[in-house]
Chain A
Amino acid sequence: MCGADKTCDFFCFDWKAQRWNLLIMLGAVIGGFLAANYLSVNQVPDLNPQTVRQLQAYGFESAGQAYVPTELFGNDAFSSPKTLVILLTGGLLVGFGSRYAGGCTSGHSISGISNLQLPSLIATVGFFIGGLIMVHLIFPLIF
């Protein structure tokens, strides 16, 4: 139902509880912990300098210096209403969208297309349309 890769099944809240999905989620949490703390020495994505410049112009000073923007994911995020709204809305769209589309990038773009499913290609096209609209049309308005 949620794609060949069940990563998104956790978010299929209304359906029968699938315990193994929770195990996958736990694994992801542990993996993140291990990767960040034991397998990396301050890993910072080596971004295109143009990307860094654009982001810094938006106010993301941490571009090029941190793994994720500290402006959105640092601990003071909890005290900024605008940041909280952004995080919540982003999450809402991902949750709603992945349930509606029956999968996320793992389920559709990777597993679905690997299985040569046309609906997965359509979903992936949708992901890109959404992402491009957000980054090119909406970011300039909110940042």
Chain B
Amino acid sequence: MYKSEAASWFRIYEMFQFQSIHMYGLMGSALMVGIALIQFIKRKKVKDINGNPIIIPDKDKSIARYLIGGILFGLGWALAGACPGPMFVLTGAGYFPILVVISGAVLGTWLYGLLKDKLPH
């Protein structure tokens, strides 16, 4: 993530300005590999290291939680310039203020735990 610059706040900003193909190329190529591999896993019924079949459950059918949750996530993603993976990558790279972001994120999940029964799903 570090080398691809997915962990760079600047790249996220640039992406939302549509000023470079960089992040889109990154995600696009990941998608191509992902789709191909998952199709391979499903059709060949590939097993995991323990010999169990790999089952990828379908997601719940709904809109509200994905759309609202998605928008909130997106707001944070642009503001902090990081999603969960990059947060830890940046910690390792030595940008310690990211620990504030991580604390915020943990707080956010805890808040979700408190409020979830009141939210549309």
The CA of A109 and the CA of B110, in the complex, are separated in Å by 23
Contacts between chains A and B (CB distance < 8 A), count: 358
Closest residue on chain B to residue A69 by CB atoms: B9
Contacts of B5 in A (CB 8 A): 43, 45, 67
Asked if A106 and B83 make an inter-chain contact with CB atoms under 8 angstroms apart, the answer reads yes
The reply on B30 being an interface residue by CB < 8 A is yes
Residues of A within 8 A of B31 (CB): 109-110, 113-114
**Is the pair B66, A126 in contact by a Cβ cutoff of 8 Å?**
yes
Alpha-carbon gap, A7 to B14, bound state (A):
24
Q: In the complex, what distance in Å separates the CA atom of A63 from the CA atom of B17?
A: 14
Interface size on B, residues (CB 8 A): 81
Q: Is there an interface contact between A32 and B2, defined as CB atoms closer than 8 Å? A: yes
Whole-angstrom CA separation of A113 from B32 in the bound complex: 10
Interface centre among A11, A30, A64, A133 (most CB of B within 10 A): A11
A31, A95, A134: the one contacting B107 at CB < 8 Å is: A95
From A29, A123, A128, A130, contact of B66 by CB (8 A): A123
Chain A residue nearest to B42 (CB atoms) is: A115
Size range of the chain A interface in the assembly: 35 or more
Chain A nearest CB from B93 CB (Å) reads 4
A91-B102, A127-B70 known; A109+B27 contact, CB < 8 A: yes
Consensus secondary structure, chain A interface: helix
| Interchain CB contact under 8 A, A92 and B107 | yes
Chain B residues 23 to 71 lying within 8 A of chain A, measured CB to CB, are 27, 30-31, 34-35, 37-38, 56, 58-63, 65-71
A117 CA / B56 CA spacing, docked (Å): 11
Q: Which residues of A contact B (CB under 8 A)?
A: 3-4, 7-8, 10-14, 25, 28-37, 39-40, 43, 45, 47-48, 50-51, 54-55, 63-64, 66-69, 72-75, 77-78, 83-84, 86-102, 104-106, 108-120, 122-136, 138-139
5 A–B contacts, CB within 8 A, in A order? A40-B2, A99-B112, A119-B60, A130-B76, A134-B16
